[in-house]
């Protein structure tokens, strides 16, 4: 990893830690034309890869893997889904199959049984996880201490609401567009800046959650 990436990713000291990685435009949008693909540069891509190398598992919502057309990863991937609705011929399933985390009602719904069986047929572990605290607990019980969350907005919102994000890696893309950030709900988390690096107009930051009362 280059100096910027090493600086932003930081030391891999904690055995159990949840990090979030995101990129926004100047007014806080996570996307342009509906996805984040047009945002960022090669340094941003390297930071994302560095965090994947740091992590034991990637946590991501099913809407994001579909919108961003995720492929397989060397780091295990856990995808949160309530519908279990996936096209198992996409490149996401072309390597090591992802772990699918779903609430109990999805796993016990007879109408979703064909979808669950299709995922299991391509090698996916389909495991139970209700709200996001239970998802994190499930991943840790499976031996994944270091978790990097890659979104999307609804998953980020739930993670922040439950104070589950220890470290936020946020890239500021020097563009302005009209798309909203998409975070909803009453979120009052506070983060302190640990590191910041600029690169050709982009700002790469690392924030750590401030414990309540500090």
How confident is the model at residue 34, as a pLDDT?
Answer: 60
Statement: residue 32 has pLDDT above 80: no
Q: How many CA atoms lie within 13 A of 142 on its CB side?
A: 22
Same domain, yes or no: 96 and 151: no
Q: Which of 115, 144, 173 corresponds to the end of one domain?
A: 144
Same domain, yes or no: 151 and 195: yes
Give me the long-range contacts of 2-6 (CB less than 8 A, separation at least 24). Answer: 2/43, 2/46, 4/43, 4/46, 4/47, 4/197, 4/199, 4/204, 5/43, 5/46, 5/47, 5/50, 6/50
For 1-24, write each residue's pLDDT tens digit.
Answer: 577 788 888 877 778 999 999 888
Ranked by mean pLDDT, which of 13-27, 159-173, 180-194 comes out on top? Answer: 159-173
Confirm if 86 and 102 have CB atoms less than 8 A apart: no
For 48-99, write each residue's pLDDT tens digit.
Answer: 999 999 999 999 999 999 988 999 999 999 999 999 999 999 999 999 999 9
Same domain, yes or no: 109 and 77: yes
- Residues 190-195: what's their mean pLDDT? 86
Same domain, yes or no: 110 and 45: no
């Amino acid at each position: 990893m280059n100096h910027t990436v090493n600086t932003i990713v930081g030391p891999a000291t904690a055995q159990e830690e949840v990090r979030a990685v995101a990129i926004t435009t100047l007014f806080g949008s996570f996307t342009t034309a509906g996805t984040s693909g047009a945002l960022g540069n090669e340094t941003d891509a390297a930071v994302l890869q560095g965090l994947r190398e740091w992590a034991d598992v990637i946590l991501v919502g099913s809407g994001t893997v579909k919108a961003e057309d995720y492929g397989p990863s060397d780091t295990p991937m856990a995808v949160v889904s309530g519908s279990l609705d996936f096209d198992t011929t996409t490149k996401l399933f072309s390597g090591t199959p992802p772990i699918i985390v779903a609430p109990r009602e999805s796993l016990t719904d007879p109408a979703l049984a064909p979808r669950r069986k299709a995922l299991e047929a391509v090698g996916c572990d389909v495991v139970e996880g209700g709200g996001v605290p239970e998802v994190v607990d499930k991943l840790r019980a499976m031996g994944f201490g270091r978790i990097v969350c890659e979104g999307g907005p609804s998953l980020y919102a739930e993670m922040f609401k439950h104070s589950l994000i220890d470290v936020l890696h946020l890239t500021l893309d020097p563009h302005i567009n009209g798309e909203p950030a998409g975070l909803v709900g009453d979120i009052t988390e506070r983060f302190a800046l640990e590191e910041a690096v600029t690169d050709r107009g982009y700002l790469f930051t690392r924030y750590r959650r401030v414990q309540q009362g500090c």
